[in-house]
Structure 1
Amino acid sequence: MGNLDHQPDKGGIRGNARSATHLPTAQPAAKPSSNESSASSPITTSDTNPYKAAREALDRDGFVVLSASLFPSFDLDTLRAAASGITAAARSGQWPYIRTLPKQFPPWPQDASNGIWGVQHLLHPTNPEHITFAKTYFDSELLKYVSVLIGCCEDDLTMELYNMLVRPERDFSLRWHRDDMPATATAEEEEERLKKPAHHAQWNLALYDDSSLVLIPGSHVRARTDVERAADPYEAHMPGQITVKLKAGEVAFYNNNILHRGVYDSTKERMTLHGSIGTTQAGIQRARNVLQHGVGVWAKQLSFDDFEPEMAERAKMMRERLDEMGNMSGDVGYFAETE
């Protein structure tokens, strides 16, 4: 049986974000089939124990949708204004931390002329609205869900990433993938990796209605089927797939090794905050997925002086754990540098 630690995507020399790469041709966004399933009803405050219900759904299906009512501190109008400002700066070339078409994985060229599909580093101290975004990332209620979904104490949580997924200038889609597993992995290698704890939580917080995330429920605990393995990377109608349809303010948590893809419609506004938080239980297991984005370069510059004392202390400790992970892991390279 093979060992994923020896897959060619497991590192390599860290490249310059401006370096030339040979990219696959991205496919136009596929319109959802009229008979395609969508996500089940979101977890709400009416659930007897919404934390337990969320964990059970995530374990069973690989994803869970949480109602906006569970996060009363999230102010959509304020978040939309902040998101609009940083997105405009990114499209005009004034914000260099971007996900550019047609590339799927980091490093992304810092040139917005071909269009963008994401805005990176919302918490960067040079972002005028970084405190607005930080107050959602370090929100006490969100962190309660994160700790339950990971299965750890809140004192073990580690700061990771906070980015934003936005409407591209032309229809665009991502291939079917698992975030931390190469497409070349054998069934045995997939099964070996999927037995390991996730040690993190990843989520999408929709500021506008969003139906861009397509996934296959239950695929986070099994290897790909023969049909999935043989399918076109941009297959529009994979057996069992669903579209996760979020209303503005809803939060979707999902296992990042579920089979999923993004389908981006250039005619629909999209500003979806895309975050992840880890735990010290992971050691350096999460290092490459996180540090390949460059967050370790600037995280130490963050100031939490404008936070309430309790949130400031929590944020500082989470940031320190990110620093510790970077110190332990060293140079991590990229997951799929040329894709």
Structure 2
Amino acid sequence: MPVPTQLPHKYHDEINENGFTIIENFLTPEEIEKYTKASEIIVDMARKGDIQTVRTRGKQYPPWPKNFNPDIWGVSGLLHPNLGEKSYPFHDLYADDKMLNVVSDILQIQTNEISMELLNMLINPLTDFELDWHRDTIKPEVSPEEEAKDLLTYPFAGAQFNLSLTHDDCLIVIPKSHNRIRTDEERSKTIDSLRRKEFITNQIIVNLNPGDLVFYNNNILHRAAYKSKNKRLTIHGSYGNVRFGKSRAKGILQHGVAEWLPILKSQNENLKMLKSKLVDLANEFEGIDLGYALEG
């Protein structure tokens, strides 16, 4: 993808080369405190069963069942209108100018071309849990030819991130695996159900301190290992490139965001702008069952 000279492109170039980019100390100590307090309120509600949109331990992909157990590894929909004022700090975080400037760099578009997508939280389950190796929108069973084609189709259609509020060493990635087909070892360990949590050559752990931010290509080979004893509060979300919205529709709308998007209200002008782009995409696919990107 040609890089327009009028926009910064440091983070774009790093993702293009390695599949991810890390920005240390992205949040100030005051911001860490603000968002930690807001996150702890949400986690407490979710563990009590007061929030239904959670990621249940033992299941990796949507659809997740409604909340029935405090042993969860994530909370979805931090912008959900049902959260009321409790969601307002996350309006500020998601629509912050400094965050959108990073996204603009990554996607090489102006900020008014960025679309709202998802904003969730990843937390420590009450019992240890590990995710399988995967690419977010490419099924492991595809042929090498189909895999190569999918990897080269709109690689900067969206930008996905983890923003840590606590020390976070859960994410495991294979650098540079975002733009090539899998090796024989990688293919075996993503298809064989008994090997999907095994060590893969060249894997690294992404170590984040409180306030650190990682953006990554969501089709980099990755997985995660959650330790119940290590408190985790990590904001996990994504943004879209309005030029390629159709390519993102299944991966985003599978989370049910279109159901509550029309009643999302905000005083944040940036969020209003981001929302309008996702409304257009949701309307385009209204009434169409897109299914789910991955299963399990």
| TM-score when normalising by structure 1 | 0.80
Please give the alpha-carbon distance, in whole angstroms, between the structure 2 residues aligned to 1:53 and 1:169. 38
RMSD: 1.6
Residue 26 of structure 2 is aligned to residue 64 of structure 1: no
More displaced stretch, 264-273 vs 317-326? 317-326
Corresponding letter in the other structure for 2:50:
Q
Residue 207 of structure 2 is aligned to residue 245 of structure 1: yes
Equivalent position SS for 2:246: coil
Corresponding letter in the other structure for 2:240:
G
* Change beyond 3 A, Cα 1:208–1:72: closer
Post-superposition shift, 1:129? 1.7
Q: Which of 198, 201, 217 lines up with 2:175 in the alignment?
A: 217
Q: Which of 113, 124, 130 lines up with 1:156 in the alignment?
A: 113
Please give the alpha-carbon distance, in whole angstroms, between the structure 2 residues aligned to 1:321 and 1:89. 30
Does the CA-based 8 Å contact 1:66-1:250 persist in structure 2?
yes
Match of 2:146 in 1: 189
Residue 129 of structure 2 is aligned to residue 172 of structure 1: yes
Please give the alpha-carbon distance, in whole angstroms, between the structure 1 residues aligned to 2:185 and 2:108. 33
Match of 1:137 in 2: 94
Residue 38 of structure 2 is aligned to residue 82 of structure 1: yes
Please give the alpha-carbon distance, in whole angstroms, between the structure 2 residues aligned to 1:175 and 1:85. 29
Unaligned ranges ≥5, structure 2: 1-6
Residue 263 of structure 2 is aligned to residue 263 of structure 1: no
* Change beyond 3 A, Cα 1:62–1:74: farther
Match of 2:275 in 1: 319
More displaced stretch, 178-187 vs 71-80? 71-80
Please give the alpha-carbon distance, in whole angstroms, between the structure 2 residues aligned to 1:335 and 1:223. 18
Please give the alpha-carbon distance, in whole angstroms, between the structure 1 residues aligned to 2:29 and 2:82. 24
Does the CA-based 8 Å contact 1:90-1:112 persist in structure 2?
no
User: Residue by residue, what CA displacement relative to the aligned partner does 1:1-36 show, whole Å, maximum 9, x if unpaired?
Assistant: xxxxxxxxxxxxxxxxxxxxxxxxxxxxxxxxxxxx
Equivalent position SS for 2:39: helix
* Change beyond 3 A, Cα 1:73–1:326: farther
* Change beyond 3 A, Cα 1:95–1:235: closer
Residue 235 of structure 2 is aligned to residue 235 of structure 1: no
User: Residue by residue, what CA displacement relative to the aligned partner does 1:42-89 show, whole Å, maximum 9, x if unpaired?
Assistant: xxxxxxxx9533222111100011022x44497111111111111011
Post-superposition shift, 1:299? 1.4
Corresponding letter in the other structure for 1:268:
N
Corresponding letter in the other structure for 2:63:
P
Please give the alpha-carbon distance, in whole angstroms, between the structure 1 residues aligned to 2:276 and 2:97. 18
* Change beyond 3 A, Cα 1:295–1:325: same
Corresponding letter in the other structure for 1:176:
W
Corresponding letter in the other structure for 1:65:
I
* Change beyond 3 A, Cα 1:138–1:73: farther
Does the CA-based 8 Å contact 2:258-2:282 persist in structure 1?
yes
| TM-score when normalising by structure 2 | 0.91
Equivalent position SS for 2:81: coil
Please give the alpha-carbon distance, in whole angstroms, between the structure 2 residues aligned to 1:257 and 1:158. 19
Match of 1:38 in 2: none
Unaligned ranges ≥5, structure 1: 1-49
Match of 1:47 in 2: none
Corresponding letter in the other structure for 2:161:
W
Question: What is the aligned residue count?
Answer: 282
Please give the alpha-carbon distance, in whole angstroms, between the structure 2 residues aligned to 1:125 and 1:235. 36
Does the CA-based 8 Å contact 1:76-1:249 persist in structure 2?
yes
User: Residue by residue, what CA displacement relative to the aligned partner does 1:169-222 show, whole Å, maximum 9, x if unpaired?
Assistant: 111011000000001011111100111123110000000010000000000010
Please give the alpha-carbon distance, in whole angstroms, between the structure 2 residues aligned to 1:221 and 1:267. 35
Post-superposition shift, 1:155? 1.3
Write out the 4+ residue segments of structure 1 that deviate beyond 6 Å after TM superposition.
Answer: none
Corresponding letter in the other structure for 1:58:
I
Post-superposition shift, 1:329? 2.0
Residue 263 of structure 2 is aligned to residue 301 of structure 1: yes
User: Residue by residue, what CA displacement relative to the aligned partner does 1:277-335 show, whole Å, maximum 9, x if unpaired?
Assistant: 00111131111100110111111212223x3xxxx1x2212111101101112322222
Post-superposition shift, 1:149? 0.4
Does the CA-based 8 Å contact 1:96-1:110 persist in structure 2?
yes
